[in-house]
Structure 1
Amino acid sequence: MVDSLFADVSYFQVPVDDSYPFGILSFRSNDGDFRDPNFAANYAWACQAVDSGRLACFIVYFYSRPNWLETVNVHREMVERAGGPHRRMITMIDLESGGNPRGNQSDGINGAYWQLTDWLGDRRRVIGYANQGDFFDMWPERPDGLRMVGAGYGRNPNLPGQIAHQYTDGQGYGGGLPEGCPPFGDCDMNIAYAMSPQDFAAACGVGIEEEFMSALNEFEQRELLDKTRDIWIQLRGPEGEGWPQLGKNEHGKNRTPVDALAAIDDALEDQRK
C-alpha cells in the first residue's frame, strides 16, 4: 500500500511553488485574528495545483484560540476573499496548548467545528490537529466521526479517528522519512499511512466521486441513484440473491444473469464435445 507525505507550512517558510513534490499540502490561514502573510500566495497556488492535477486536495488550517468565533470568521473571510472555498479544500482546526488555556476547551472547539461544517456542507471536510496530551486534555468531548492529524515526533500517537501523523517538525525525528521538502527546506511533515493522495481526499469528502455528485442537482442525483439501483437489481436480483427463475448454481443459490450465461456456455460446450 502507498503512503502519502505532505508538508505543513506557514509564513515561517517561503510560499509554495512548483518544486513542491507531494499530492497533498497543508498551510495556515490564521492564528486567532492574526492573518498569515503567505496565505494568499499559498491558496492561489493550491487551487491551481488541484485544477491541474498536481494536488489531489489541500488543507487550510487555523490555530485555535479562545475567541473561537472570531478565529473561525477570520478563516472564512480569508478563504472567501481568495475565491474559495475550493471544492478540494479541507479545513483543519489546529489545537495546541501553546498560548492557550489548559483543560477542557470542548465547548469552543466544537462551536468552531459546527460553524465550519455548516459552511462547507460536509462534516468530513473539517478535521482536527493535536498532539496526544492536548487532544485528551483540551478536547475530551468531540463530534462523532472526527478525523485527526496526530502530532507525535518520533512516535505515532494513534489518536481516535487519526487520518495522518505529523511525525517531525523538521528537527530530526523522521526516522528515515523526509525532514522537509522543496521549496520549504526543513518543516513540519506528515504521513497518511496506506493512503494515496486520492484516498486521503475521498476520506475527507473532497474526492472525485464527491465532486461529481456535488455537480449534480438534487433531481439528477436521485435519477442517477435510481438507475444505479435498477442495474444492481438486474445483476443481483431483487434481494441481492439471484433470480429463482434462472435455476441454482453449484452452491445451491439462485443464479444471477452472469451465472446463467456461464451455465448456458457450459451446456453448449458439452454439446460440442
Structure 2
Amino acid sequence: MTIFGIDISNNNGADIDLTEVASEGFGFVFAKVTEGDYFVDATWPAYRDAARANGLLLAGYHYLRADCDVQAQAELFLEHLGDAPAMVDFEANSGDMSTFWDFVNAVNDRGHRISLSYIPRWYWQQIGRPDLSRVPGLIQSSYVSGVGYAAELYPGDVSPNWNGFGDRTVDLLQFTDSAFVAGHHVDANAFRGTADELRQLLGLTTSTTKGDFMALSEEQQTDLYHKVCEIWDQLRGPEGRGWPQLGADAQGANRTLVDAVADLVAAQGSESKAAA
C-alpha cells in the first residue's frame, strides 16, 4: 500500500483547500512552521487546523539554518509548532551533521521528539556523504519530470529513487514539486505502508478503526477522554449511581439527571391535565 501526501508552506499561498486535498485521496500533510531564528510561517495555524479537521496526518517542519543559533531555532520552532509531530528540513544553508544533531537534540531535550528528517540526496553529497544511520524518519527527494496528478507522476514502489544512502533506508520519497493538487502545483510525497505505520513513524498512537481519532494528538485524546467521563458523571451520577440530591426513584435508587427531568415533565403533564 502506498499513501500520498503534500508538502506546503507560505510559498504555495494560504488558499490550498485541504478538504479538497483529502477528497482527492491524499493522506498526510507536512507544513512549514518556522525557519532559522527569525521566520514564522503565517500559513501554519490554518493548515494545521484544516489538516486535522479533514483527517489528514500532519507534521510541522522547521527549516534549519546554520547561520542562526540552534537553541534559539528550537525555541522558536516549538513555540509555534504546538503538539504536532516535528520534522526538520535539512538542506541548502543548513550546515553539516553537527548542526543537524545539535538541533535535533535541542528539540528532543525540550520534550518534543523529532520524527522526520528531510535530507535530499544532493545535499547529503554536498556535505561529504555523512552517516545517516541514526537520523529519524528519512525523507529523500528525487524528482520525476513533468507536471500532473501525483498518482500519475509517482515512479513506483520499486523505483531506484527509493534507494537508501548514508547507511539509511528511505522512509518517504518526495518525488515531484509539480503535482497538481486541489488546483495548485505542490511538492508530493509517497509513503510505502499503511496509515497506522505512518502514524507510528510520526510518534502517534495507532488505530485499527478507520478514522478513529486519526486527527487528534495523544494530548487531545486524553483531554477528550476526561471530558467524556465528566459528561457521564453529570448525566448518570458518580459511578453511574445517580445523584442523592435529586431524590430516589420507586425502587429506592438515586435519580439520574435524566430521571429527574423525566419526573418534572411528568409532573407538569399531570398539573396541566388537572387544570383542564
TM-score, structure 1 normalization:
0.60
Identity %: 18
Deviations 1:58-87 (A, max 9, x none): 1111111012222222111112xxxx21xx
* Counterparts of 1:206 and 1:28, CA distance in 2: 19
* Counterparts of 1:109 and 1:211, CA distance in 2: 27
State the match for 1:35 in structure 2. Answer: 40
Asked if 2 retains the 8 angstrom alpha-carbon contact of 1:64 and 1:95, the reply is: yes
* Counterparts of 1:186 and 1:60, CA distance in 2: 20
State the match for 2:86 in structure 1. Answer: 91
Amino acid at match of 1:112: F
Amino acid at match of 1:113: V
Amino acid at match of 1:106: M
State the match for 2:197 in structure 1. Answer: 199
State the match for 2:119 in structure 1. Answer: 130
Change over 3 Å in CA distance of 1:135–1:14 after alignment to 2 = same
Is it true that 1:20 corresponds to 2:9 in the alignment? no
Amino acid at match of 1:128: S
Asked if 1 retains the 8 angstrom alpha-carbon contact of 2:6 and 2:186, the reply is: yes
Q: How many residues align?
A: 186
Instruction: Quote how far apart the aligned CAs of 1:162 are.
Output: 1.6
Change over 3 Å in CA distance of 1:196–1:167 after alignment to 2 = same
Asked if 1 retains the 8 angstrom alpha-carbon contact of 2:115 and 2:201, the reply is: no
State the match for 1:72 in structure 2. Answer: 74
Instruction: Quote how far apart the aligned CAs of 1:90 are.
Output: 1.9
* Counterparts of 1:70 and 1:142, CA distance in 2: 24
State the match for 1:240 in structure 2. Answer: none
What SS is found at the alignment partner of 1:153?
coil
Instruction: Quote how far apart the aligned CAs of 1:205 are.
Output: 1.8
Asked if 2 retains the 8 angstrom alpha-carbon contact of 1:95 and 1:135, the reply is: no
Structure of higher CA gyration radius: 2
Alignment of 1:44-83 (within 5 A): 44-49=49-54, 54-55=55-56, 57-66=57-66, 67=68, 68-79=70-81
Instruction: Quote how far apart the aligned CAs of 1:141 are.
Output: 4.8
Instruction: Quote how far apart the aligned CAs of 1:12 are.
Output: 1.6
Match of 1:148 among 138, 154, 160: 138
Change over 3 Å in CA distance of 1:144–1:40 after alignment to 2 = same
* Counterparts of 2:110 and 2:58, CA distance in 1: 17
Is it true that 1:115 corresponds to 2:106 in the alignment? yes
Residue range with higher mean Cα deviation, 21-30 or 111-120: 111-120
Amino acid at match of 1:134: Y
What SS is found at the alignment partner of 1:62?
strand
Change over 3 Å in CA distance of 1:120–1:197 after alignment to 2 = farther
Instruction: Quote how far apart the aligned CAs of 1:201 are.
Output: 1.0
* Counterparts of 1:145 and 1:34, CA distance in 2: 25
Change over 3 Å in CA distance of 1:118–1:132 after alignment to 2 = same
Amino acid at match of 1:168: T
Amino acid at match of 1:43: R
* Counterparts of 2:74 and 2:94, CA distance in 1: 18
Asked if 1 retains the 8 angstrom alpha-carbon contact of 2:33 and 2:40, the reply is: yes
State the match for 1:5 in structure 2. Answer: 4
Change over 3 Å in CA distance of 1:128–1:121 after alignment to 2 = same
Asked if 1 retains the 8 angstrom alpha-carbon contact of 2:64 and 2:94, the reply is: no
Change over 3 Å in CA distance of 1:196–1:118 after alignment to 2 = same
Alignment of 1:209-220 (within 5 A): 211=218
Residue range with higher mean Cα deviation, 131-140 or 59-68: 131-140
Deviations 1:198-241 (A, max 9, x none): 221112321326959x95xxxxxxxxxxxxxxxxxxxxxxxxxx
State the match for 1:173 in structure 2. Answer: none
Change over 3 Å in CA distance of 1:157–1:133 after alignment to 2 = farther
Asked if 1 retains the 8 angstrom alpha-carbon contact of 2:63 and 2:88, the reply is: yes
* Counterparts of 2:53 and 2:42, CA distance in 1: 19
Asked if 2 retains the 8 angstrom alpha-carbon contact of 1:163 and 1:192, the reply is: yes
* Counterparts of 1:198 and 1:207, CA distance in 2: 8
Deviations 1:227-267 (A, max 9, x none): xxxxxxxxxxxxxxxxxxxxxxxxxxxxxxxxxxxxxxxxx
